[in-house]
A and B are shown apart, each in its own frame.
Chain A
Amino acid sequence: MKQTRRLIRLFSLALCAVAVLVAVTYVTMVRTNSDRWLNSAQNVRLQEARKNTRQGTVYDSAMTRLAWSDAVGERSYIDDKSVRLAMSHTIGDQKGMSETGVENRHATTLLGLNDITGRDKTIQRLMGGDPVGYDIVLTVNAEMCAYAASLFPTGSRGALAIINYKTGAVLAKVSLPAFDPADMSAYVEDTSYYDRVLQYRYAPGSTFKIVTLTSALENIPGVASKTFSCESVWSFAGSTIRCAGGKAHGSINLNKAFSESCNVTFAKLAYEIGASNLKTTAENFAFNDNFLFEDIVLYPSGCLSVSQSVSEVIQTGFGQGTTQATPLHMAMIAGAIANGGEMMEPRLIREVRRQNGGSVSHMTPRLYKRVTDADTAREVAYYMYQAVQSGTGTAARISGYSGRVCGKTGSAETTNDKEAATNAWYVGFLYGDEEHPYAIAVIVEQGGSGGSAAAPIASKALKKAIELNLY
């Protein structure tokens, strides 16, 4: 009898523990996922709410009205078409075409459905009148986006992202081709609804050398003083590595190799670092992470996740092979180097407000992960400074700006066809400027060389950002 009692007591304790476990799982699950789940297109509540609720207004960081509803079921957009096009992927649309836009991803906020305590819902019902949703103030600046979009050659495709590397706020993002949220019936190109900043994965090309460089500095002692030799071509493990333009860099050190973007050196470096160390460094930089950010949808980037064969590793060294990254992620990487090795979580929403002005929530910067230690970051930043000063990135220098411009160009191959145009990349930041802590990533699809197609765009864009004093 005693034994039976003892066992029963054990069962009842186990039962209590399990009940607590279930309760805790329930609460955490709802807290982390409800926002994402409720904004899915299958949510009937969104459709019903659109029928009787006045959606909130979307403001840019300068409090310019971008999208608003004067009445239930209506939606008006800012008059300026260039702004509408430039910010189309950020604003979103009423038809559910854009996955990343605020009107889609944060529909629950704009409709006031994410009112946890029910306070606003209760007050509104009691006072009568149309229910209204919350307003969203973005971190993105409309004027900057419109200007950035104009920097791309007409008809080109590409993306641009500027972030504040100290807070993680996304200051500008443009994806081309774009669509017009005010005129959804107009014909647009097939891929116009995709947000190339957040959803497109490109081969980073030479911009990935930032990661390889970090990995080399961390894993190979004394690599900074080593000498490498480049004869324009290197055949190894079944692959043939060539430097851009058939250039042979001869006998160079690491600094020169980075500035001049020597593929052969970085391929050899990657081989010396080895698959597992290189993958670890890449994953420190958030490659292969499944990004589940609160504000923003960001598709994952991949590095050495499919194959880790030797030929894959040496190609990864200069950002080819199966390596892939989104433009925003590249901007985050640049920002992390500028920020002493700390990668901040990207934020799109500065503030959520009630229509009558009270603030519901305010953005607080969050650290996402530490990519490397501060000393290594400083060293890499120095190399990137040299690349703009005297290397392939000289077109990124900003006239009239006295601060330090650091960056890395890239010309990423997309096919094995030697004649095909490469994607032009530029990834960089302004170092040590407290008032303008900007990191930027620019890609022009099939734009050719990063130094000549992407770097000038970045230079002008950053100059405008400094002028507008974005923060």
Chain B
Amino acid sequence: MIFSRLSKNRKEAEGLRRLLVRTDERPLEYAVMGFQAACLILLSLKDGALDTFTLAMAFALPIGTFLGLKLIARFWPVDRQMYLLTMFLCSLSVILLRAVFKSTAKAETQALYLLPGFAALLIGIAVPRLFTGREVIIKLAMPLFAALMLLPFGFTTSSAARSWVRLGSMQFQPSELLKPALVLVLASGFSWERKLKGWIAYMIFGASLCAILLVQRDLGAMLLYFMLIMAMFTAGTGKWRLSLLAILIAAGLGVLFVSVSDRVEGFGYIATRIDIWKSPFSGKHEESRQIVQGLMSVSSGGLFGAGLGLSYARKVAVVGSDYIFAAVCEEFGMLFALAVILIYALLAVLGMRQAMNARSRFHALLAFGCAFEIFSQMLLIVSGNLNILPLTGVTLPFVSEGGSSLMGSMLMMGMMLGVSSINAQDEYDDLMRLTSGRGRGR
């Protein structure tokens, strides 16, 4: 072992071994696989006759998780824990969609989306390995980005607060898909530009994206984009006083806007939402039905849940994407829901740790941006479900149904895994250099 080369002293070698060897991920891996199999086998018996698709998924998902890990790790030394937690959340999505709804359609669609999702993960891993942040192509991405964001204007938008593009039978949401690209662009901009005038271009870019989202009336996405831009600005430039000032100004403008929003055309729903948020059970508005059912669903789970497939979460409007956390609470219970919150926090912490270990500022900001984005999305949606904040129409990453959301999240997770693989590689190379031919020290 290399440790004996590092030190003749056995005790030191043992200490170094303990220090350098990562914890064994296999218990986690087997637990995730077991969970997937158990849930899906149970669910395949839900409707009397055996549901072959669900039963097939009961084997396909764990095997896919297992092989996926082997495949990825063969080529890139990624952080296996992050991968396993992500696969856990993705399969939770299929499990919940199967359990909540009577028909298997949503679960099947989501399961099929996992394949391109995995491909997106691989693409994401490749990105930080290919880019160092100074590529002109990243700068050229900005106008392309803006153009794609404007797409929904060309197509009819269905509900008041979504920015969808419908192509035939498929529909996707550009703002979700382009989030990883935003992180990439901002990471490159804030890592290499060291002066204010360099940053201005990126800030204007960010502001215009927020403006587009505002006009598209997707306030949830706008809030997320804004938070991401401010976070990356702060981390990238170090000018936290400036960003604090900007946030306060934006907050002030936001409050102002909200108070006059009922007079602006098309934004009347903001006042309604705030009203509903303050007193959901007053029954004044028709729309409060959703949060009322959602809160009842959240409270109905007890500690251990109602039992897979036995919940009434389907009575909550849009439970597949907006209120999926309520479904988690009712199907699996409060303990499990707290575990899910913990898992998201861990994913973010691990991502930020990779950012701290990165050797170049670009990779650091890339990983940081992705981690921050995934966590803040979870924060907004869980707070919305629990009525801590008004509902904003964002999705829970990996767990909510929806192709665009899944692709966007998988790309970001991929980028974090990519950075982790570079870090692991650098560490290994440095250790090798340290020990071959030179013994200890340099």
If A25-B386, A27-B334 touch, does A19 touch B300 (CB 8 Å cutoff)?
no
Look across to chain B and name the residue whose beta carbon is closest to the beta carbon of A21: B388
Q: Which of A9, A11, A29 has the most CB of B within 10 A?
A: A11
Distance in angstroms from A85 CB to nearest chain B CB is 30
Distance in angstroms from A400 CB to nearest chain B CB is 50
| Residues of the A chain whose Cβ atoms lie less than 8 Å from the Cβ of B293 | 42, 44
If A4-B238, A116-B302, A117-B302 touch, does A29 touch B386 (CB 8 Å cutoff)?
yes
| Residues of the A chain whose Cβ atoms lie less than 8 Å from the Cβ of B315 | 44
Look across to chain A and name the residue whose beta carbon is closest to the beta carbon of B240: A7
A1 touches B344 (CB 8 A): no
Look across to chain A and name the residue whose beta carbon is closest to the beta carbon of B354: A8
User: Interface residues of A toward B: which range?
Assistant: 35 or more
Asked whether any CB of chain B lies closer than 8 Å to the CB of A37, the reply is yes
| Residues of the B chain whose Cβ atoms lie less than 8 Å from the Cβ of A27 | 334, 338
| Residues of the B chain whose Cβ atoms lie less than 8 Å from the Cβ of A44 | 293, 312, 315
| Residues of the A chain whose Cβ atoms lie less than 8 Å from the Cβ of B356 | 5, 8-9
B353 touches A12 (CB 8 A): yes
Asked whether any CB of chain B lies closer than 8 Å to the CB of A115, the reply is yes
If A7-B234, A11-B368, A48-B312 touch, does A22 touch B349 (CB 8 Å cutoff)?
no
A15 touches B375 (CB 8 A): yes
If A27-B334, A43-B296, A113-B300 touch, does A8 touch B386 (CB 8 Å cutoff)?
no
| Residues of the B chain whose Cβ atoms lie less than 8 Å from the Cβ of A9 | 352, 356
> What string of 1s and 0s marks CB contacts (under 8 Å) between B359-382 and chain A?
001001100100110010001001
B364 touches A4 (CB 8 A): yes
> What string of 1s and 0s marks CB contacts (under 8 Å) between A418-431 and chain B?
00000000000000
In the complex, what distance in Å separates the CA atom of A4 from the CA atom of B364?
A: 8
Asked whether any CB of chain B lies closer than 8 Å to the CB of A34, the reply is yes
> What string of 1s and 0s marks CB contacts (under 8 Å) between A220-251 and chain B?
00000000000000000000000000000000
In the complex, what distance in Å separates the CA atom of A325 from the CA atom of B295?
A: 31
Asked whether any CB of chain A lies closer than 8 Å to the CB of B236, the reply is yes
| Residues of the B chain whose Cβ atoms lie less than 8 Å from the Cβ of A40 | 281, 292, 296
Contact of B372 among A11, A22, A34 (CB under 8 A): A11
Distance in angstroms from B275 CB to nearest chain A CB is 18
| Residues of the A chain whose Cβ atoms lie less than 8 Å from the Cβ of B348 | 12, 15
| Residues of the B chain whose Cβ atoms lie less than 8 Å from the Cβ of A63 | none
A19 touches B344 (CB 8 A): yes
Distance in angstroms from B379 CB to nearest chain A CB is 6
B296 touches A8 (CB 8 A): no
| Residues of the B chain whose Cβ atoms lie less than 8 Å from the Cβ of A362 | none
In the complex, what distance in Å separates the CA atom of A29 from the CA atom of B312?
A: 20
In the complex, what distance in Å separates the CA atom of A37 from the CA atom of B304?
A: 19
In the complex, what distance in Å separates the CA atom of A8 from the CA atom of B231?
A: 10
| Residues of the B chain whose Cβ atoms lie less than 8 Å from the Cβ of A33 | 295, 299
Asked whether any CB of chain A lies closer than 8 Å to the CB of B341, the reply is yes
Distance in angstroms from B115 CB to nearest chain A CB is 31
In the complex, what distance in Å separates the CA atom of A456 from the CA atom of B240?
A: 74
Distance in angstroms from B405 CB to nearest chain A CB is 20
In the complex, what distance in Å separates the CA atom of A1 from the CA atom of B359?
A: 8
B338 touches A12 (CB 8 A): no
If A22-B379, A38-B300 touch, does A4 touch B295 (CB 8 Å cutoff)?
no
| Residues of the A chain whose Cβ atoms lie less than 8 Å from the Cβ of B352 | 8-9, 11-12, 15
B281 touches A7 (CB 8 A): no
| Residues of the A chain whose Cβ atoms lie less than 8 Å from the Cβ of B337 | 26
In the complex, what distance in Å separates the CA atom of A118 from the CA atom of B235?
A: 46
A15 touches B345 (CB 8 A): yes
Asked whether any CB of chain B lies closer than 8 Å to the CB of A23, the reply is yes
In the complex, what distance in Å separates the CA atom of A42 from the CA atom of B300?
A: 13
Asked whether any CB of chain B lies closer than 8 Å to the CB of A468, the reply is no
| Residues of the A chain whose Cβ atoms lie less than 8 Å from the Cβ of B333 | 118
Asked whether any CB of chain A lies closer than 8 Å to the CB of B298, the reply is yes
In the complex, what distance in Å separates the CA atom of A45 from the CA atom of B315?
A: 10
In the complex, what distance in Å separates the CA atom of A127 from the CA atom of B320?
A: 34
Asked whether any CB of chain A lies closer than 8 Å to the CB of B247, the reply is no
Contact of A45 among B281, B292, B300, B371 (CB under 8 A): B300
Main secondary structure of the interface of B (DSSP, over half): helix
Contact of B238 among A7, A30, A45 (CB under 8 A): A7
Asked whether any CB of chain A lies closer than 8 Å to the CB of B383, the reply is yes
A11 touches B345 (CB 8 A): no
| Residues of the A chain whose Cβ atoms lie less than 8 Å from the Cβ of B292 | 37, 40, 42
In the complex, what distance in Å separates the CA atom of A163 from the CA atom of B361?
A: 70
Contact of A30 among B289, B299, B342, B368 (CB under 8 A): B299
B379 touches A37 (CB 8 A): no
Asked whether any CB of chain A lies closer than 8 Å to the CB of B209, the reply is no
Distance in angstroms from B314 CB to nearest chain A CB is 10
Asked whether any CB of chain B lies closer than 8 Å to the CB of A154, the reply is no
Q: Which of A25, A38, A118 has the most CB of B within 10 A?
A: A118
Distance in angstroms from A16 CB to nearest chain B CB is 6
Asked whether any CB of chain A lies closer than 8 Å to the CB of B161, the reply is no
Asked whether any CB of chain A lies closer than 8 Å to the CB of B111, the reply is no
Distance in angstroms from B119 CB to nearest chain A CB is 29
Asked whether any CB of chain A lies closer than 8 Å to the CB of B244, the reply is no
Asked whether any CB of chain B lies closer than 8 Å to the CB of A3, the reply is yes
If A9-B356, A16-B345, A118-B303 touch, does A4 touch B386 (CB 8 Å cutoff)?
no
If A19-B342, A22-B341, A22-B388 touch, does A4 touch B300 (CB 8 Å cutoff)?
no
> What string of 1s and 0s marks CB contacts (under 8 Å) between B281-301 and chain A?
100000001001101101110
A1 touches B361 (CB 8 A): yes
Asked whether any CB of chain A lies closer than 8 Å to the CB of B222, the reply is no
In the complex, what distance in Å separates the CA atom of A30 from the CA atom of B293?
A: 14
In the complex, what distance in Å separates the CA atom of A43 from the CA atom of B352?
A: 42
Asked whether any CB of chain A lies closer than 8 Å to the CB of B355, the reply is yes
Q: Which of A418-455 contact B (CB under 8 A)?
A: none
| Residues of the B chain whose Cβ atoms lie less than 8 Å from the Cβ of A22 | 341, 379, 382-383, 386, 388
In the complex, what distance in Å separates the CA atom of A70 from the CA atom of B236?
A: 70
Contact of A37 among B295, B353, B361 (CB under 8 A): B295
In the complex, what distance in Å separates the CA atom of A116 from the CA atom of B293?
A: 19
Contact of B296 among A5, A38, A118 (CB under 8 A): A38
| Residues of the B chain whose Cβ atoms lie less than 8 Å from the Cβ of A34 | 299-300
Asked whether any CB of chain B lies closer than 8 Å to the CB of A71, the reply is no
If A8-B355, A11-B352, A12-B353 touch, does A23 touch B296 (CB 8 Å cutoff)?
no
Please provide the 4 A-B residue pairs with the shortest distance between their CB atoms, ordered closest to farther.
Answer: A34-B299, A19-B345, A12-B352, A116-B302
> Can you list 5 pairs linking A and B with CB atoms under 8 Å apart?
A7-B238, A7-B240, A22-B341, A34-B299, A48-B312
Residue numbers of A with Cβ under 8 A of B are 1, 3-5, 7-9, 11-12, 15-16, 18-19, 22-23, 25-27, 29-30, 33-34, 37-38, 40, 42-45, 48, 113-118
Q: A7-B238, A19-B345, A23-B342 are known; give 12 further A-B pairs, CB within 8 A.
A: A7-B235, A8-B356, A9-B356, A12-B352, A23-B338, A25-B388, A30-B299, A30-B334, A33-B299, A37-B295, A44-B312, A45-B300
Residue numbers of B with Cβ under 8 A of A are 231, 234-236, 238, 240, 281, 289, 292-293, 295-296, 298-300, 302-305, 312, 315, 333-334, 337-338, 341-342, 344-345, 348-349, 352-353, 355-356, 361, 364-365, 368, 371-372, 375, 379, 382-383, 386-388
